[in-house]
Structures are given as structure tokens and as C-alpha cells.
Amino acid sequence: MPEWPAEKLQLACFPDVPDHVSLPWDSADEYLLREADTTIPTATLILNDRHGALYCALPGAATWSDSFCARQAAQNNARANDLHPPDFLNYGGFSSLTNIRQVLIQIPKQKDQLADQLRLVATHCPDANVFLAGMAKHIPISLLNWLEVNADEYTQPRIVKKARLLNIRGLTKFASVERSLRGYTVDGLTLNGLPGVFSRDHLDPGAEVFRQYFPDLHGKVICDLGCGNGILAISLAKASTGCTIIATDDSELATLATKANAKLNDLVTNDLVTNNSKTNNSKTNNSKIDVRHGNALSTVTEKLDYVFCNPPFHDGNKQLTNIALNMFSDAHKQLKGDGVLLVVANRHLPYTTALKKLFRRVRLISDDKRFNVYYCTK
């Protein structure tokens, strides 16, 4: 476990990645801690703390992260440093915040996700001093201009160790930002999602190809691994009868989208029943969707007949394959003896060798020029 010299903390990524690929802190974290008031941790809100570095430097702060893995990393790192683990806010839990005087934000990849987070901060912590930071190369000038125009007070110190920090006060304009729910329709299905949900406003090309290769599924236990807005799980539920479909994702916002979209399309999930779903599912389609927030299949104990996976190959701004490889390994462990993993992936991604090491038989079943669809038999 590497030591963060600036804070003298022992920190690790979760899941593990080699130190030369990624460390559990960066210079943006250090910049935030240098400029923020570190004497008021319990009056601090932290957003998008990738591995808990900020929380461990400010134990007792309120914190939210969309990622299950980020939450697990923060809990692991707090325990490793003899600190009380964080009690994470849920996305709908910002209204419980009181007496927050400062907010530390690791700037997310998408502007609309930052806008949504600033809307929540402006609504529930309107008087807070807000510090935002990220690596300068990932922060476009247009974002800086947008923040400067909308904040009552805006300060931009010099770049330090390739990290940029912004300090804003007066969030009135952000409070009036409309909650950005976007979506699309495809084959009679309606799908929406909040900022940060993968491919929330258009059908992902990989998913479009994948849907052409669904086998006949009836009475099976199936997992949509990395469900995003639920397009695969919902398509499978509509096309099958008597199936249990587990939809899991690292993103809390993705699981919320999948649940909402299942309701929108008159399907039953593990925690809701729609007005029409009892009738529709009992007469024509009794497949149900069980939505879970977790790392790969960490929340799945059931043995599975099929796993469908459209894996991400970016972690933040970095292109990595470790997330997909972890998914493949978990799928192999949870599949029944004759179970099948189906994967769609961009052609340039090097998954064939890894899949052949895990599965008895790996077939390429697509003829698409952009994507490979793998049919992997345990």
C-alpha cells in the first residue's frame, strides 16, 4: 500500500491497479487540501473522491461518490489508517445536509454532471465556499468560462503540478439549473438518465449491435453486467418470459436510471411495482429485473445461466482494460457449469486472449466492422 507523502496516509486503489498505472491520489487532491480549511472536516462536503484520499485527510466530512468502487476504496483506506469509515450520502440524500461551510469537488468528466452537482450544492448548501479541482489538461476553457459567468465570485489561482483549482462563491444561478434528464426511444422502449449515466441520451452503438445477437431466453437467470440506463436488461425482459434478470452497475446513477426506466416500460423490479406491471407481467411477460449497485458481480450470489456485458474501457479520463477483465473473471465464477458470457466490445480492444484463458470455448459471432460480439461457454 503506497504512502501519500503530503498527508502521511497509507492509501490503495480499489480494485487494485499497479502503482505505475494509477495512484489513489493526484495533485488535484493535494491542491484542494492546500486551499481548503482543513480544520472544519465536519462542516465539509466532498464530491467525487476517487479513492477516499480527501476523506482520509478530512475524516468525518460528508461525502458522495457515484461509484461503488470509489466508496469501497474510501472505506478500505479509512480503516487502514484507523479512521472511522465514511457514511456515504445517496444521490437523493443531499437534503439531510446541515451546516456545510465548504465543498470540495473533484471535477467530473462531463460538464452536465458538474452542473447537476452544483445544482444540488446550491440548493442544499447555498452559502458554502466551493473548491473545484482537476488535472488541467482535462478541464476545457469553455468550462472555466461557464463557471466564471454563473458564479457570483470566481477565483482561478495558477496551475500547480499540472492541476487546476477554482474557487467559487455565490451559487444562486446554479440553483436554477434545470434537472437535466435526457433520453431516447428505441423499438417502443423509452429510456432516460441523469448526467453521468453512460449513453443516456442515445442508443450506444455497441448495445445496438449486441441486441441483434440475443438468444432465445425463457426461465433463465440472467445478468446485465454494467447495466447503464438498463437498455439491455429491459430489452431482455421484454423479449423473454419467466426470467430473473439481475442488472448491476458500479454507478449509483445508472442503477437509479435502470429502476426508473423499468417502471417507465411497465416492468417489475426488486423494489417497485408499477400500476400496470401486475397485469402486463402476469399475462404476457413475467420476467422481472433485480437492480443492484456493486463492483462487477460483488452483490450477486445466484448462479447464472447467462451474463451479458458491454464493459467500459475508461476509468475517468484513462483508458484501461482492468475493469473489463475483472468483469469477465467474476462472470466465469458465477456462471453455472454450462453458462454463457456474451460480450460486445470495440474491435481494437484486446479481449480475445483474456477470454480464452477463462472459458472453454470462445466464438466470435458478429460480422460488424466496428464491434466484436463474443459467445463464451464455460
- Please report, for the domain that includes residue 129, its CATH number: 3.40.50.150
Looking at every residue in the chain, the average pLDDT score rounds to: 92
Q: How confident is the model at residue 275 (pLDDT cuts 50, 70, 90)?
A: very low
Which of residues 155, 175, 195 is at a domain's end? 175
pLDDT at 283: 39
What span, in angstroms and rounded, lies between the C-alpha atoms of 234 and 224? 10
Average pLDDT value for residue range 338-367: 94
Among 112, 147, 175, where does a domain finish? 175
Contact 263/289 with Cβ under 8 angstroms? no
Grid cell locating 173: 444561478
Q: How far does Cα 294 stand from its chain's mean position?
A: 10
- DSSP annotation of 56: H
**Count of H-run helices and E-run strands, the chain:** 12, 20
Co-location of 29 and 168 in the same domain: yes
What pLDDT shows up at residue 315? 60
Same domain, 144 and 193: no
Mean pLDDT along residues 199-221: 93
What CA–CA distances, in Å, run from 329 to 60, 96, 356?
Answer: 35, 39, 11
Instruction: Report CA-CA distances (Å) from 299 to 118, 234, 290, 302.
Output: 31, 20, 11, 9
Is the domain of 47 the same as that of 193? no
pTM comes to: 0.92
Q: Domain tally for the chain?
A: 2
Range of the domain at 147: 3-175
152 and 260 fall within a common domain? no
Residues 109 and 215 in one domain: no
Quick one: DSSP state of residue 272?
B
Residues 152 and 26: their CA atoms lie apart, in Å, by 29
Within 94-211, strands assigned E span 102-106, 129-135, 153-155, 163-169, 182-186, 189-193
pLDDT in tens, 153-186: 999 999 999 999 999 999 999 998 887 789 999 9
Provide the 10 A C-beta neighbour count for residue 80: 15
Whether residues 102 and 237 fall in one domain: no
Q: 251 and 306: one domain?
A: yes
